Structure 1
Amino acid sequence: MIEAAMIWNEPNNKSHWDPEIDPGWHLFADTLACAAQALKQEAPALPTVLGGLSPIDPTFVQFLDSKRALDHVDVVAVHGFPLDWNLWQINEWPAKLAEIRAVTPKPVWVTEVGVSTFGAEEVQVFGLERTAALLIGRTPRIHWYSLYDLPQAWGATTRHKEAEGSSYYRHFYMGLLREDGTPKPALEQFGRYAPAMGLCQWFHFEDHRLDDAVAWMRRLGVRYLRTGLSWADSFRPNALDWFDRQMEALAEFDVTVTFCFTPEHRGIAPHHTSPPQVKEEFAEFCTAMIRRYAGQLRPRSDALAMPASLA
């Protein structure tokens, strides 16, 4: 059920890794190296992925490489939202991939790309069509973010909150389905691009949408999915029961599982963006999850392959 293991999410974004605690990202480099090496020892055939970069920054890749942090990483992932947050145009996607390929020989995946319907639902239809035209055939993995809108009551994972103005509220309208589960116009269009395009859908602890999400992914023809298992959630009561239920429900898909979110009591600061006090504890969580769920490991032969158009 697990196609790849992603280590952290958007580490060069302060909404996910605190640069005030770790100026220069030296602690992140050490944490990445520790977890990647541990995962390779646990499951040598399982591809490991550097958590999607946001912004797309080749100098960050060069820094991690200079620290030998990429030695046990197989894939570099990037995230892009040019119609919502990035300061570049959607037609620059091929150039953005080229920037990363210029500094690393590793495959480059797009593990989050999407368009908010905050302004107009028709914008998402255009963005999906243009994204598919620009990315399909140029990268082995494209994960559209996301299937569902983020419920208003949950709050977005960002350090800026309402101070972002409309930028914050765009987080809640990234789905192909509205919060109430009704389809947006882009949903039918997405089905035309699956399975060449997969999904990224984060499931909250004991998420009520899990079974409906599986039904929608089957209907759309989705074959690969990116989701997460939270280190912080692992300390909740009945955490393993929820993890088991989530991974069993997703067993028919090729899943890239993302490991991230520091438990408050195990961080240098009491926040999910904090570097861990002991990096080995995060690595142990990653390997424990792979040990538990990789019994049905189905490595895809094309997961690391360069598209024929770029070979």
Structure 2
Amino acid sequence: MIEAAMIWNEPNNKSHWDPEVDPDWSKFGEMAVLAGQAIAKANPAVKRVLGGISPIDASFIQRLAGYGVLDAIDVVAVHGFPLDWNLWNINEWPTRIDEIQAVAPNHELWVTEVGVGSFGAEEVQEFGVKRTAELLLGKVPRVFWYSLYDLPQAWGATTRHKEAEGSSYYRHFYMGLLREDGTPKLGLKAFEPYADRMGLMQWFHYQDHRLDDAVAWLKRLGVTKLRTGLSWADSFRPNALDWFDRQMEALAPFDTTVTFCFTPEHRGIASHHTSAPQDPAEFADFCASMIERYAPASASQPVAVAAE
């Protein structure tokens, strides 16, 4: 069920990794190396992807390389939202890719989140889908559009700098090709011609009511590549494995990149899902257990056929 395993999400974004707990990212480096090694031991056929960085910062990749992280992964990933948050022009995408490729020349580079919101106008998102496809398809092996659904207003966005973002915070709720109620936007029609080449990124929350409808939309669009997540923090909820099993079974038809992230509050140095864990080996164990459950090595081995 799993094509690739992503180690964390946006580790250089304080909404996802707390720099007060780990100011030099050495704890992240140690955790990522252990996770990469554990995933490879569980199934060497699963590609190991460094959590997509946001902002796109070559010096951050060089910092992690100094901790040995690049030796424990196969793919470097980036996230970009130039029409919503990033302070660069959408046409700079090829330059941004080249900057990272220059510091990780022996690794594949994937764009595991790219998106344009419809906060100002749906026509902006429609343009963004088309221009992103023109700039990135063929430039990198994987591109994942963020996202299929708008984030429900009642859930709130995962960010630790809401006030500093000002009105741009509300853009978090308008990134989907479908509205919260499941009705299509103009961007969906723009996405359709690229659906077999541009993947979709969709987080599914614990017991997410949208799972079955999302799968139906993905099949209808002809999407083959999907990125989603399995939360280490959620693994401590009641009946967590039942939910994980349901989610992964529903997503079995797709080539799936699964992101492993979110520290359980009781296992963090600080009591927050962005904290470095008290014991990084526990996160590595979680990654390995998920690979063993949903992408066991035996399932990815070719079946030997005896000669007649």
Taking the aligned partners of 2:300 and 2:71, their CA distance within structure 1 comes to 23
Tell me which residue corresponds to 2:28. Answer: 28
Where 1:52 maps in the other structure, the secondary structure is coil
Instruction: Kindly provide the CA deviation profile for residues 4-36 of structure 1, in whole angstroms up to 9, marking residues without a partner as x.
Output: 000000000000000011011110011101110
User: Are the equivalent residues in 2 in contact too, given 1:3–1:254 (CA < 8 A)?
Assistant: yes
Whole-angstrom CA distance in 2 between matches of 1:27 and 1:35: 12
1:185 correspondence with 2:186: yes
Given residue 284 of structure 2, which amino acid in structure 1 is its aligned partner? A
Conserved 8 A contact 2:114-2:146: yes
8 Å Cα contact 1:3-1:298 kept in structure 2: no
- Structure 1, unpaired ranges of 5+: 300-311
Report the equivalent of 1:3.
3
Q: Equivalent residues in 2 for 1:175-254 (5 A)?
A: 175-254=176-255
Q: Is the 8 A contact 2:151 2:172 kept in 1?
A: yes
Give a deviation string over 1:241-290, Cα, whole Å, max 9, x none: 00000000000000000000000000000000000000000000000000
Percent identity reads 72
Q: Distance in 1 between matches of 2:167 and 2:229?
A: 26
C-alpha deviation, 1:186, in angstroms: 1.0
Please give the TM-score of this superposition, normalised by the length of structure 2. Answer: 0.95
* Whole-angstrom CA distance in 1 between matches of 2:288 and 2:151: 29
Q: Is 1:9–1:53's contact at 8 Å kept on the other side of the alignment? A: yes
Segments of 4+ moved more than 4 angstroms: 296-299
Question: Is the counterpart of residue 119 in structure 1 residue 139 in structure 2?
Answer: no
Cα distance in 2 between the residues matched to 1:52 and 1:177: 23
Matches within 5 A, 1:32-111: 32-105=32-105, 106-111=107-112
Give the equivalent residue in structure 1 for 2:14.
14
Tell me, yes or no, if the aligned pair for 1:115 and 1:174 is still in contact at 8 Å.
Answer: yes
- Structure-2 residue corresponding to 1:306: none
Over residues 63-122 of structure 1, what are the superposed CA-to-partner deviations in whole Å (9 max), with x where a residue is unaligned?
111111221200000000000000100000000000001111201000000001111111
* Aligned-partner SS, 2:249: helix
Q: How far, CA to CA, are the matches of 2:95 and 2:213 in structure 1?
A: 37
SS at match of 2:69: coil
Query: Matched residue pairs, number?
Result: 299
Report if the CA contact (8 A) 1:50-1:75 is conserved: yes
> Is contact 2:116-2:128 (8 Å) kept?
yes
Gaps of 5+ in 2: 302-308
Alignment partners' CA distance in 1, 2:229 and 2:68: 25
> Equivalences for 1:161-176 in 2 at 5 Å?
161-176=162-177
Distance in 2 separating the partners of 1:134 and 1:185? 20
Report the Cα distance in structure 2 between the residues aligned to 1:13 and 1:55, rounded to whole angstroms. Answer: 7
Q: Is the 8 A contact 1:145 1:200 kept in 2?
A: yes
Q: Could you give the per-residue CA deviations for residues 107-149 of structure 1, whole angstroms, max 9, x where no partner exists?
A: 1000000001111111000000100000010000000000000
| SS of residue paired to 1:53 | coil
Q: What letter is aligned with 2:169?
A: Y
Contact 2:45/2:300 (<8 A) preserved: no
Give, in whole Å, the separation in 2 of the partners of 1:273 and 1:297.
33
Question: Which residue does the alignment assign to 2:270?
Answer: 269
Cα shift at 1:161: 2.4
Say if 1:53 and 1:77, in contact at 8 Å, map to a contact too. yes
Distance in 1, matches of 2:194 and 2:284, equals: 35
TM-score (norm 1): 0.94
Range 242-251 or range 158-167, more displaced: 158-167
Q: 2:132 maps to what in 1?
A: 131
Q: CA deviation at 1:163?
A: 4.3
Structure 1 residue 2, shift from structure 2 partner: 0.4
> Counterparts of 2:70 and 2:229 in 1: how far apart (Å)?
21
User: Aligned partner of 2:142: which letter?
Assistant: R
SS at match of 1:217: helix
Write the distance in 2 (CA, Å) between the matches of 1:84 and 1:194: 22
Q: Does residue 1:152 correspond to 2:153, yes or no?
A: yes
1:145–1:201 Cα contact (<8 Å) kept: yes
Where 1:71 maps in the other structure, the secondary structure is helix
User: How much does 1:168 deviate?
Assistant: 0.7
Aligned to 1:308: none
Instruction: Tell me the residue number matched to 2:305.
Output: none
